[in-house]
Chains A and B, each alone.
Chain A
Amino acid sequence: DGGITQSPKYLFRKEGQNVTLSCEQNLNHDAMYWYRQDPGQGLRLIYYSQIVNDFQKGDIAEGYSVSREKKESFPLTVTSAQKNPTAFYLCASSPGRTKPQHFGDGTRLSIL
């Protein structure tokens, strides 16, 4: 089955530590996205990539970094500069910007 796989499902971070969230897709989609969702809130765009080796900042990119070395993979690193990283992180992909996005099941990040 084609889809998006996010791992891990739950992640814990110590203060001052960087952590990387994995996102892999086998849908052959060009565009990939990372969103953050806080309790009771909507999704906010962190980063967006339309093609390999290219990505753009979203509304809340500070404290996050991404890479897009392969079409299938778009990992997100939550750096120690992100002072409030506790949230539900969602990865998505789409064939293009006007096409519907397919989402993974999310990673819930918490601070120890």
Chain B
Amino acid sequence: LAKTTQPISMDSYEGQEVNITCSHNNIATNDYITWYQQFPSQGPRFIIQGYKTKVTNEVASLFIPADRKSSTLSLPRVSLSDTAVYYCLVGSDLTGANNLFFGTGTRLTVIP
């Protein structure tokens, strides 16, 4: 069961780069890694997804080492509107429903 572990909270100043790491020691061969962002009283929103190495889109980068036992979400030059909870999710088409484990996430606070 590829459950995940993330820091509970992080603080960052505006304009800084933020890196949030997720540990998933039991990740399976077919599992993908997906990150979501959630604001209060809203549903999570997809940020980025990857399987190995590095993935980059217009809002973030995802770094995955060769052993895939962890992943790092990188947010460049954060702003106050990036204050939210960030979740790392690991799962695949081949594993059961119980592999959809969001965990408690990382609460990022961006400070002016």
A residues whose Cβ falls under 8 Å from a Cβ of B = 4, 33, 35, 41-45, 47-48, 56-59, 88, 90, 92, 96-98, 100-106, 108
Q: Tell me whether A98 and B92 are in contact (CB under 8 A).
A: yes
- How many A-B contacts are there with CB distance less than 8 Å? 60
Q: Does B25 contact A (CB under 8 A)?
A: no
Q: Tell me whether A106 and B100 are in contact (CB under 8 A).
A: no
Pick 24 A–B contacts, CB within 8 A, sort by A. A4-B43, A33-B100, A41-B104, A42-B87, A42-B102, A43-B44, A43-B87, A45-B98, A45-B100, A48-B100, A56-B97, A57-B97, A58-B97, A58-B100, A59-B101, A88-B41, A90-B44, A101-B34, A101-B46, A102-B46, A103-B44, A103-B45, A105-B43, A106-B41
Q: Label chain A's interface by main secondary structure.
A: strand
B residues whose Cβ falls under 8 Å from a Cβ of A = 32, 34, 36, 41-46, 49, 87, 91-93, 95-98, 100-105
Give the docked Cα–Cα distance between A33 and B44 (Å): 13
On chain B, the residues within 8 Å of A105 by CB distance are 42-43
Q: Known pairs A33-B100, A58-B97, A90-B44. 19 more at Cβ < 8 A? A: A4-B43, A35-B102, A42-B103, A44-B102, A47-B97, A48-B100, A56-B97, A58-B98, A58-B100, A59-B101, A96-B93, A97-B91, A98-B32, A98-B93, A101-B34, A103-B42, A103-B45, A106-B41, A106-B43
Give the docked Cα–Cα distance between A56 and B46 (Å): 23
Q: Tell me whether A100 and B46 are in contact (CB under 8 A).
A: yes
Give the docked Cα–Cα distance between A53 and B93 (Å): 18
Name which residue of chain B comes closest to A44, CB basis: B102
Given known pairs A43-B87, A98-B32, A100-B34, the reply for A56 and B96 (CB within 8 Å) is: yes
Name which residue of chain A comes closest to B99, CB basis: A97
Give the docked Cα–Cα distance between A100 and B88 (Å): 12
